[in-house]
Amino acid sequence: AEAVGKCISEAIVFKGRTLYANASIGLVLSSPNHFKAEEVLRDSDIAMYHAKDNRRSWSVFDRSMRARAVTRQQMETDLRYAIVCNELQLFYQPIVNLATMKLHGFEALLRWKHPRKGMIQPGDFIPLSEDTGLIVPMTLQALENACGQTVKWQQQYPGHEYLSMSVNLSGKHFADPALVEQVENILKETAIDPQCVKLEITESSTMEDAENAIGKLNQLKQAGVRLSIDDFGTGYSSLSYLRRLPVDTLKIDRSFVSAMAEPGEDDEIVRTIMALAHALKLDVIAEGVENVQQLAILRRLGCQFGQGYLFAPPLPLDAVEKM
């Protein structure tokens, strides 16, 4: 298997471009549990996907892999059903202007209300939805609902005509050539002011194919929406690359905000991100603000916006309206 893998991974030059192909191989040792050839093929297929998921060139099947594959298959079926049956709900977490302490907008965060398993957090279903491509219909549904809801709130609550709504975009969806048109259609259908919509992407999702990403971000900017870099500081983008990204906002990752007020730690990283944002004329949102010490430091450093449990956790629709 190792030798075949090596052979396939050799560079191929095609029309002047160097291409690399990867191969993953699933191996299965025949056992008394295998009665038919189909069963051997099925298990080698499971082993092959195990190898792919773990970025290895080969894997040997064991029975725990089949149990995991069945659970995953069941979850995928449930997730397809969830999209059609509206089991996916948006929660909204307030984003606060730290200078005035007034509501600036919300970030829409998905939750899956599973009929048997209860509330499932995004960390437990977003990766599967990315692998299966379900992330695309899921995000489009989320974006449409979030935009529609924002327009309602803007009309319903005087003084909130410019309420903003942030929606997360997965790297997989970001790479989809249909994305810009899909976003434009939703903006049109919901009649939201595009300036009130912020799409959040992570550094890593723009870095896989940097030139393409800059083009895509520019097209989204032309559609009128604003762009944020989520979990900023956890990726590896260079300063020169960052300068070329047409984004409006950096969201400082929660890990830097929580470390800031701990004994023996200082605010150096957050201070540095603030200076960088200032030089690039970007807004900054601090994620995961949990206590007043953090709030005080952020305000002192001139951070414009904050989001975190200190203000409110992500809330369902009715709780937001009560608030």
| Contact residues: ligand C2E, CB under 6 A | 93, 109-110, 121-123, 126, 139, 142, 168-170, 200, 230-231, 254, 287-290, 307-309, 314
State the pairing for strand pair 226-232/197-202.
Answer: parallel
Question: From Mg ion, ligand C2E, none, which one binds at residue 159 (CB under 5 to 8 Å depending on kind)?
Answer: none
Question: From ligand C2E, Mg ion, none, which one binds at residue 142 (CB under 5 to 8 Å depending on kind)?
Answer: ligand C2E
Residue from 143, 231, 257, 294 that binds Mg ion (CB under 5 A)? 231
**Cα–Cα nearest to 284, from 234, 228, 233, 235:** 228
Residue from 168, 170, 205, 237 that binds Mg ion (CB under 5 A)? 168
Least distance in angstroms from the C-beta of 96 to ligand C2E = 11
Q: Whose CB is nearest to ligand C2E?
A: 308
* Residue 110 near residue 127, CB atoms below 8 Å: no
203 binds Mg ion (CB under 5 A): no
**Cα–Cα nearest to 47, from 67, 26, 33:** 26
CA 317 – CA 300 distance, rounded (Å): 33
Helix (H, G, I), strand (E, B) or coil at 309: coil
Helix (H, G, I), strand (E, B) or coil at 284: strand
Residues written for the chain: 323
Residue from 43, 78, 144, 200 that binds Mg ion (CB under 5 A)? 200
Q: 25 or 95: whose CB is closer to ligand C2E?
A: 95
Q: 230 or 267: whose CB is closer to Mg ion?
A: 230
**Cα–Cα nearest to 109, from 291, 287, 284:** 287
CB count in 10 Å sphere of residue 317: 13
267 binds Mg ion (CB under 5 A): no
Least distance in angstroms from the C-beta of 173 to ligand C2E = 7
